[in-house]
């Protein structure tokens, strides 16, 4: 590797961290990924991935394998418990606009695909970050095994409760440079139970899933503050989640305090099993016989079931000096919009393009400017995704506000829905330093400044010109 390239330390081996690692690998830029756990267990159910990411899979040369992992999803059906379907959202216009379907992909399989894009010797497990620091020329991290690792750039891709963000914010707060809003706890208004069944025979009980293209089913409880979702995967499993809508906003700190004060707290060690027991009777909207969520729980290995908080926040401070944040570490989105993982990977694409475009032997000012450009590019689409996700989550809430949101959604004009859909598919960036994939569909993508910047350097390199 060229010695004039910056060395990048990536904390967190989630999808955002792996995507950035895969891009740096392609760009021949030195990097290392540090993960606090012994292995990453990709809990959860599945991801919905479409035109915003599939072109990247094509550029990386893994699109054929990706397509074998997914199941095309042409529509979403929203129902009310015991009342049948309320409305259906078709995603077929998106195929016309972009040339790609949305695919449901089981999270463990997609994670494994991305993990294989990074050489094993570039990922270091059992490396929990204790401290971070930076000087004019270098950045360093100290990990729980008493090792110190140095580099030129540090990227925190370590989730909603990011150790890198917390350490960076501690320093900024001491210097009086941290906005008040960034000092507040991550809020959430719902919790979620997620899991995925073992492979089953769809034909026997779920003929609706025994097709190449299958719907995504969302059911709202009649008189309880719950919503449950089921969808099929290409591996003949049913991925599911049950969302509990809370009466008021809470935080992790508040829930931990409640746990300390009460033996009946929902955050005990058996929280997932308790929620399973409480929601077993929720009816499924499809099937050849009367079945409930309990039937799916019985088909799901308990080590693949988890209960999580659905935090929602976009932080204002994404970087400081040689340190920057990515994905959930700087913006946590409600999963109702299915944009959390996609946004993290888009962060990685923008950051990968900008790191590639850095000058030889970049200075601290070069790196700080790069992070500023990264945030400027990503904050607008991230905020839009955040707002869209909150609006979709509002439809599922109970009470007067939820009823109004549902009424508006049911009577939404078709022409306005198309306008919103077109706006939502504009953000389809590509990797600037790999041959471009010709755009498909009838709607052009927005110009990505980071992609254009990397593309200019890439083209000069190809023609033998000296990059500026």
Alpha-carbon span 311 to 132, nearest angstrom: 25
CATH 3.50.50.60 fits 8-52+107-184+312-462, yes or no: yes
* H-type alpha helices, 262-363: 271-278, 293-298, 340-356
Task: Please name which of 391, 399, 393 lies closest in space to residue 420, comparing C-alpha atoms.
Answer: 391
Across the strands, what pairs with 29?
none
Contact (CB, 8 A) for 358 and 370? yes
pTM greater than 0.85: yes
Contact (CB, 8 A) for 108 and 69? no
How high does pLDDT run on average in the chain?
85
Going by the DSSP 8-state scheme, the letter that residue 126 receives in this structure is S
Question: Helix, strand, or coil here: 128?
Answer: coil
Alpha-carbon span 305 to 292, nearest angstrom: 17
Q: What is the pLDDT of residues 228-247, one digit of tens each?
A: 999 999 999 999 999 988 87
- Per the structure block, which two tokens stand in for 45? 């159910």
**pLDDT score for 151:** 97
- Region 439-466 average pLDDT: 87
Q: What is the pLDDT of residues 342-360, one digit of tens each?
A: 999 999 999 999 999 999 9
Contact (CB, 8 A) for 237 and 200? yes
Confidence of residue 396 (pLDDT cuts 50, 70, 90): low
Is the torsion defined by CA of 376, 379, 94, 409 positive or negative? Answer: negative
Work out the percent of the chain whose per-residue pLDDT is above 70.
84
Least reliable range by pLDDT among 29-33, 278-282, 301-305, 368-372: 301-305
Whether the predicted pLDDT of 112 surpasses 90:
yes
State the pairing for strand pair 306-311/187-196. Answer: antiparallel
- Degrees (nearest 5) of the Cα angle 164, 165, 168? 85
Whether the predicted pLDDT of 420 surpasses 80:
no
Q: What is the pLDDT of residues 124-145, one digit of tens each?
A: 999 999 999 998 889 999 999 9
Tell me whether residue 137 is exposed, middle or buried, using C-beta atoms within 10 angstroms of its C-beta: 0 to 12, 13 to 18, 19 or more: exposed
DSSP letter for each residue of 303-320: GG-EEEEEE-EE-S--EE
In the chain, what is the straight-line distance between the N-terminal and C-terminal CA atoms, in Å? Answer: 20
Work out the percent of the chain whose per-residue pLDDT is above 90.
54
Whether the predicted pLDDT of 265 surpasses 60:
no
Least reliable range by pLDDT among 118-122, 219-223, 247-251, 379-383: 247-251
- Per the structure block, which two tokens stand in for 179? 């906005």
Question: Helix, strand, or coil here: 321?
Answer: coil
- Region 419-438 average pLDDT: 83
Whether the predicted pLDDT of 413 surpasses 50:
yes
**pLDDT score for 468:** 40
* H-type alpha helices, 193-292: 202-205, 252-261, 271-278
Alpha-carbon span 193 to 275, nearest angstrom: 7
Q: How far is CA 39 from the centre of its chain?
A: 19
Whether the predicted pLDDT of 268 surpasses 60:
no
Domain residue limits, the chain: 8-52+107-184+312-462
Spatial neighbors of 391 by CB under 8 A, at least 6 apart, are 405
Spatial neighbors of 71 by CB under 8 A, at least 6 apart, are 103, 104, 105, 212, 213, 214, 232, 233, 234
- Region 169-190 average pLDDT: 92
- What does R_g of the chain's alpha carbons equal in angstroms? 22
Task: Please name which of 182, 151, 144, 190 lies closest in space to residue 166, comparing C-alpha atoms.
Answer: 182
- Region 30-44 average pLDDT: 85
- Region 296-325 average pLDDT: 91
Contact (CB, 8 A) for 50 and 101? yes
Question: Helix, strand, or coil here: 35?
Answer: coil
**pLDDT score for 155:** 98
Going by the DSSP 8-state scheme, the letter that residue 114 receives in this structure is H
Task: Please name which of 106, 79, 43, 53 lies closest in space to residue 232, comparing C-alpha atoms.
Answer: 106
Spatial neighbors of 203 by CB under 8 A, at least 6 apart, are 210
Contact (CB, 8 A) for 22 and 60? yes
Element (H, E) at 230: strand 226-232
**pLDDT score for 406:** 46
Confidence of residue 414 (pLDDT cuts 50, 70, 90): low
Alpha-carbon span 81 to 75, nearest angstrom: 19
């Amino acid at each position: 590797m060229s010695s004039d390239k910056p060395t990048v330390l990536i904390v967190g081996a989630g999808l955002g961290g792996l995507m950035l690692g895969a891009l740096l690998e392609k760009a021949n830029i030195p990097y290392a990924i540090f993960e606090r756990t012994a292995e990453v267990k990709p809990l959860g159910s599945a991801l919905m991935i479409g035109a915003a990411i599939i072109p990247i899979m094509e550029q990386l040369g893994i699109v054929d394998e990706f397509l074998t992992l997914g199941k095309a999803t042409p529509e979403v059906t929203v129902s009310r418990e015991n009342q049948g379907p309320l409305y259906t959202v078709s995603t077929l216009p998106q195929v016309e606009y972009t040339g790609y379907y949305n695919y449901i992909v089981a999270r463990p399989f997609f994670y494994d695909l991305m993990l294989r894009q990074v050489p094993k010797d570039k990922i270091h497990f059992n490396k929990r970050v204790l401290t971070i620091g930076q000087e004019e020329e270098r950045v360093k991290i100290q990990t729980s095994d008493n090792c110190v690792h140095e580099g030129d750039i540090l990227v925190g891709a370590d989730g909603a409760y990011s150790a890198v963000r917390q350490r960076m914010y501690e320093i900024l707060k001491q210097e009086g440079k941290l906005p008040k809003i960034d000092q507040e706890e991550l809020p959430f208004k719902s919790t979620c139970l997620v899991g995925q069944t073992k492979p089953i025979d769809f034909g026997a009980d779920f003929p609706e899933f025994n097709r190449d293209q299958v719907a995504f089913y969302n059911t709202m409880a009649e008189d309880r503050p719950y919503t449950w979702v089921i969808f099929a995967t290409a591996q003949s499993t049913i991925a599911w989640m049950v969302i509990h809508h809370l009466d008021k906003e809470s935080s992790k700190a508040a829930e931990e305090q409640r746990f300390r004060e009460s033996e009946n707290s929902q955050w005990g060690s058996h929280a997932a099993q308790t929620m399973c027991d409480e929601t077993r009777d929720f009816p499924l909207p499809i099937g050849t016989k009367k079945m409930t969520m309990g039937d799916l729980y019985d088909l799901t290995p308990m080590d693949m079931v988890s209960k999580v908080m659905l935090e929602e926040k976009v932080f204002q401070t994404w970087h400081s000096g040689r340190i920057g944040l990515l994905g959930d570490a700087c913006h946590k989105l409600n999963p109702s919009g299915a944009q959390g993982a996609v946004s993290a990977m888009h962060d990685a694409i923008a950051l990968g393009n900008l790191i590639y475009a850095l000058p030889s032997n970049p200075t601290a000012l070069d790196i700080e400017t790069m992070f500023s450009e990264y945030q400027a590019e990503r904050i607008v689409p991230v905020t839009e995704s955040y707002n869209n996700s909150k609006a979709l989550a509002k439809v599922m809430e109970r009470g007067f506000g939820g009823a109004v949101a549902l009424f508006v959604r049911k009577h939404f004009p078709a022409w306005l829905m198309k306008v919103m859909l077109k706006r939502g598919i504009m953000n389809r960036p590509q990797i600037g330093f790999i041959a471009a994939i010709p755009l498909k569909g009838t709607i052009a993508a927005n110009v990505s400044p980071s992609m254009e910047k990397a593309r200019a350097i890439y083209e000069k390199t190809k023609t033998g010109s000296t990059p500026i």
